Amino acid sequence: MKNKTLSVLLILFYIFSSSHLISQERRWSIVLHGGAGSFSGTIDNSSKNEYVKALVAALEIGKSILENGGASIDAVQAVVVELENCPLFNAGKGAVMNADGFFELDAAIMDGSSLMAGAVAGVKDIKNPVKAARMVMDSTKHVLLIGEGASMFAISKNLEIVPNSYFSTEKRVEQYNKIQKGSEKPYPGGTVGCVALDVNGNLSAATSTGGMSGKRWGRVGDVPVIGAGTYANKIVAVSGTGHGEIWIRRVVAHDIAALMEYKDLSLEDASNEVIFNKVGPMGGSGGGIIAVDSKGNISMVFNTDIMYRAWAKSSGEQGAGIINSTVK
């Protein structure tokens, strides 16, 4: 009788352990952002709904990949492509103009499972820079390609090439004219990005941007600098948005990973430490990060009035937000 009872208990334990392992293996999380910044007054409901709709549309693309067992690297790329194609954000179509009135785009992607990364900077004719960044990661021994070299590489990989005017929108032309007249100051923020954990436990990050509005020709910010605006390893994946020069000097994305690895800080504590205690005192009061760790925890920390963001987990948790309140 005792042996029979023991056998039953062992079988139940095995079933529980197996189901627990399966649930652990099937865990996924995803977070995306569409940039951060300041605003005067309030955002009207029409604009708010438009942004939320765009964020959720991108989120659903990433969710679908992860729910079906897809790789996090594919999920973050697909989400960023969607955001690059949306004229609401400062990346791809809808990117800001530089001081000379044309567009220069940057993007990066990183696979945390292998520490492989790819990036492009200062490109003027690649429709989806994040696709070129992925090609750099997958098809070359390099990490970063710039300018005409990056474009020639993209052409060799049959990526879609467009005229520089493709990236223009009425909103950006108006913004450029205001900067030229001195009625608006150049703004350093505005980026899109995505981080994800897949069911196999792999973390990835991708980021894309048009950079700083009114920037000097040839200026490159933090996005394509691995460890500054984009980083992923086996512990955490981070994508940032903010003042690129400070993000580079502060090595924001990698610093969060280092605090978690070497000081054993939680994801939220590490994110808060970097954004509020390290970036803030340097004058970097204009940005934030999204991040996900190997346990599926997510972080969305920003020191601005707004950060366009959306997130989802395999647990069923999902939301989208712009200001400090959320829309679910």
Question: Which pair of tokens denotes residue 190?
Answer: 């505005």
Instruction: Please give the Cα distance from 69 to 253 (Å, whole number).
Output: 26
Residues contacting residue 260 through CB under 8 Å, at least 6 positions apart: 235, 236, 266, 267, 270, 293
What residues are annotated to the active site?
191
Return the pLDDT at 8.
41
Q: For residue 326, what are the β-bridge partners?
A: 321
The two tokens of residue 233 are 């390893």
Q: Where are the domains positioned within the chain?
A: 27-114+168-327
Q: Is 266 exposed, middle or buried (0-12, 13-18, 19+ CB in 10 A)?
A: middle
What was the pLDDT predicted at 188?
A: 64
Q: What is the pLDDT of residues 19-54, one digit of tens each?
A: 444 445 589 999 999 998 876 545 678 888 999 999
Cα Rg of the chain, angstroms: 21
DSSP codes joined into one string, 33-97:
EEEEE--SS---HHHHHHHHHHHHHHHHHHHHHHHTT--HHHHHHHHHHHHHT-TTSSSSTTPPP
Contact 310, 321 (CB under 8 A): yes
- CA–CA separation, 193 and 223 (whole Å): 9
**Which has the minimum average pLDDT: 6-20, 33-47, 71-85, 297-311?**
6-20
Label each residue of 119-146 as H, E or C.
EEEEECCECCHHHHHHHHHHHCCCCEEE
Specify the pLDDT at position 15.
Answer: 40
Chain Cα centroid distance, residue 268: 17
- Residues recorded for the chain: 328
Alpha-carbon span 32 to 191, nearest angstrom: 11
Mean pLDDT of 192-216: 96
pTM of this structure: 0.90
Fold for domain 27-114+168-327?
Answer: Glutamine Phosphoribosylpyrophosphate, subunit 1, domain 1 (3.60.20)
Of residues 8 and 213, more confidence is placed in 213
* Residue 263 one-letter amino acid: K
Q: How far apart are CA 194 and CA 126, in angstroms?
A: 20
pLDDT tens sequence across 230-244: 999 999 999 999 999
Distance CA 328, CA 319 (A): 5
Mean pLDDT of all residues belonging to the chain: 90
Q: Identify the burial level of 185 via C-beta atoms within 10 angstroms of its C-beta, where 0-12 means exposed, 13-18 middle and 19 or more buried.
A: exposed
37: β partners? 306
Structure-token pair, residue 155: 């052409």
Residue 11 has pLDDT above 80, yes or no: no
Q: Measure the CA angle with vertex 296, ends 294 and 297; round to 5°.
A: 105
Question: Residue 99 half-sphere exposure, CB side, CA atoms within 13 Å?
Answer: 9
Per-residue pLDDT tens digits for 191-202: 999 999 999 999
| Beta-sheet strands, E only, within the chain | 29-37, 105-111, 116-123, 144-146, 192-197, 203-209, 230-232, 236-241, 288-293, 298-302, 306-313, 318-321, 326-327
